[in-house]
Amino acid sequence: MNEFGKPVEDVKLVLATYGHEDLIEGANMFRKAKKVIHPEEDCKGLNQFDPELADLGTIKDLTIARVGYHSPGSVIFYYRQSNVIFTGDFLCFFGDPLSKEALVSKGDELRQAWVEYLQGGGVADSELPDFLDGLKIIHGFDAGVRCTGHGGVLNGAINEFIEVLLNVEK
């Protein structure tokens, strides 16, 4: 934030897509910000977060939808003004190298890695219905850019990518 010339006091709202430590642990630095999370998130460190996010709703200019696959209260945020969807770790590239194209790119190799992950049984059969339901929710937004909790940012043809995932056969 210092590089952008913004003090942490300027941050008024912190939204958590889920409650794992790798996401929320640094939130305490935003002492003046309101911090919100979905009420189904149940882990350490949430005492600084208000459990106010709905299964479906809006906060500021963001649409919120609970997808629940990564964790029980996992949510996504969609910013309609710029067609950006924030999927947190519901659909991320944890451990994958960044795209050879750039941090923000179409990310063809990242997309292909997800197809191969699903084809190889990466999502357990017991969790597959919840995962597919979450994909359908994401597909309902007109996203042109998808930001994840880990890894690269996909730019372009997001709904087409989600359709491919929805149609993957193991």
Dump pLDDT digits (tens) for 112-167. Answer: 999 999 999 999 999 999 999 999 999 999 999 999 888 889 999 999 999 999 99
Please report the pLDDT score of residue 24 as a whole number.
86
Please report the pLDDT score of residue 43 as a whole number.
63
The mean pLDDT of 90-103, rounded to a whole number, is 83
Please report the pLDDT score of residue 170 as a whole number.
63
Please report the pLDDT score of residue 42 as a whole number.
74
Other Cβ atoms within 10 Å of 80 Cβ, number:
14
Give the span between the Cα atoms of 7 and 25, in whole angstroms: 19
Query: pLDDT tier at 103 (50, 70, 90 boundaries)?
Result: confident
Please report the pLDDT score of residue 46 as a whole number.
66
| Domain annotation for the chain: domains and CATH numbers | 2-166 (3.60.15.10)
Long-range contacts of 158-165 (CB under 8 A, 24+ apart): 158/85, 161/111, 161/114, 162/135, 162/138, 163/139, 164/111, 164/115, 165/91, 165/114, 165/115, 165/118, 165/135
Q: Does the pLDDT value for residue 85 go beyond 70? A: yes
Please report the pLDDT score of residue 44 as a whole number.
63
Tens of pLDDT, residues 46-80: 678 989 999 999 998 999 999 988 899 999 999 99
Please report the pLDDT score of residue 149 as a whole number.
84
Please report the pLDDT score of residue 96 as a whole number.
80
